[in-house]
Amino acid sequence: MAIIISGKEVSANVRAEVKAACEQLRTKGITPGLAVIIVGDDPASRVYVNNKKKACADVGFVSEEYALPAETTQEELLALIDTLNRKPEINGILCQLPLPKHLDEKAVINAISPLKDVDAFHPSNVGRIMIGDYHFLPCTPAGVMELIHSAGIDVSGKSCVVIGRSNIVGKPMAMLLLHENGTVTICHSRTRNLKELCSSADILVAAVGRPKFVKADMVKEGAVVLDVGINRDENGKLCGDVDFAEVEPKASYITPVPGGVGPMTIAMLMKNTLKAAMLQNGID
Ligand code: NDP
């Protein structure tokens, strides 16, 4: 029987810390502000944006929503980002992805000021993460690390396998595990000996985007299993990339879906926005 690492609990603690720090900042006349841009009417994006706005209100931040029509041009979007980059009461800017096809995601990410890039997607922030000298960490991998720490798990010297190499999750996840002295392997769709590699892992992170992809025979007895996936199973029920029912009896620690990594992402976004507000006000 594995110990279940509760993202609900850990994220509530992170949010409570951010809220307390925000109250402190307000005594100095500073209220952190987050601008959230959403282009088009993708229902999943709308849910994420609403959750981010609610989280801001809960911790005491100001949030501004910019809901733009699907036919917004690249120039219009870049002009808005430029305005927000210059707006002193806005400390963090995020543009909800994916964008409609005619918009250039890379150019949009590049346009956000690195100091306000609370998603940590800007190439300058990505580079800073590589060299281990960063202000912001990408929210989902940072959330996974927070879960690992909360369970008192030491990464140093452990064999860590990350399945997935996206810029948003897999690659930065691997880097954060490496920073903590894990011996890291990154797997992807061209990996030949996936089962063998996964079943050698002390710490296994699944960020594949395939429902119940990780089965018991891919997991070492006593492994720590962190499930980033958010998928729907054959019955339309929310599930992760890990087959929880099969894997849980074999793991020492495991995160559930829902209630695992998911709630951590927004909590870490709040943490990044607080950090941005502090940096922009000369508080370290
Ligand atoms: P991507 O689709 O960008 O990346 C998926 C990765 O999995 C790719 O690197 C791909 O390899 C790899 N992959 C796909 N199929 C296989 C396979 N058969 N064997 C081995 N590797 C494979 O997804 P994201 O990284 O954006 O997201 C991953 C999951 O995490 C999704 O379920 C997403 O919904 C969820 N997610 C959850 C968040 C949260 O807050 N909890 C936040 C962000 C994402 P290749 O590169 O070769 O194509």
Distance 267 CA to ligand 1 centre (A): 21
Q: Which of 52, 158, 212, 271 is catalytic?
A: 52
Q: Quickly list DSSP for 3-58.
A: EEP-HHHHHHHHHHHHHHHHHHHHHTT---EEEEEEES--HHHHHHHHHHHHHHHH
Model-level pTM?
0.97
Q: Looking at residue 35, what is its pLDDT?
A: 98
Of all residues in the chain, the percent with pLDDT exceeding 90 is 99
Distance 136 CA to ligand 1 centre (A): 22
Q: Is 229 in the pocket of ligand 1 (CB under 6 A)?
A: yes
Task: List, for residues 154-174, the tens digit of each pLDDT value.
Answer: 999 999 999 999 999 999 999
User: Is the CB–ligand 1 distance for residue 165 below 6 Å?
Assistant: yes
In this structure, the strands spanning 62-68 and 159-163 are: unpaired
Query: Does residue 284 carry a pLDDT above 80?
Result: no
Per the CB < 8 A criterion, the answer to whether 14 and 7 are in contact is no
Q: Which amino acid is at 63?
A: S
State yes or no: pLDDT of 113 exceeds 80.
yes
**How far apart, in Å, are the Cα atoms of 15 and each of 9, 57, 129, 147, 272?**
10, 11, 23, 14, 11
pLDDT per position as a tens digit, 136-145: 999 999 999 9
In this prediction, residues 228-247 reach a mean pLDDT of 96
pLDDT tens-digit series, residues 196-229: 999 999 999 999 999 999 999 999 999 999 999 9
The verdict on the CB of residue 90 being under 6 Å from ligand 1 is no
pLDDT tier, 246 (very low <50, low <70, confident <90, very high otherwise): very high
Q: What percent of the chain has pLDDT over 70?
A: 100
Are the beta carbons of 253 and 3 closer than 8 angstroms? yes
Is 90 exceeded by the pLDDT of residue 128? yes
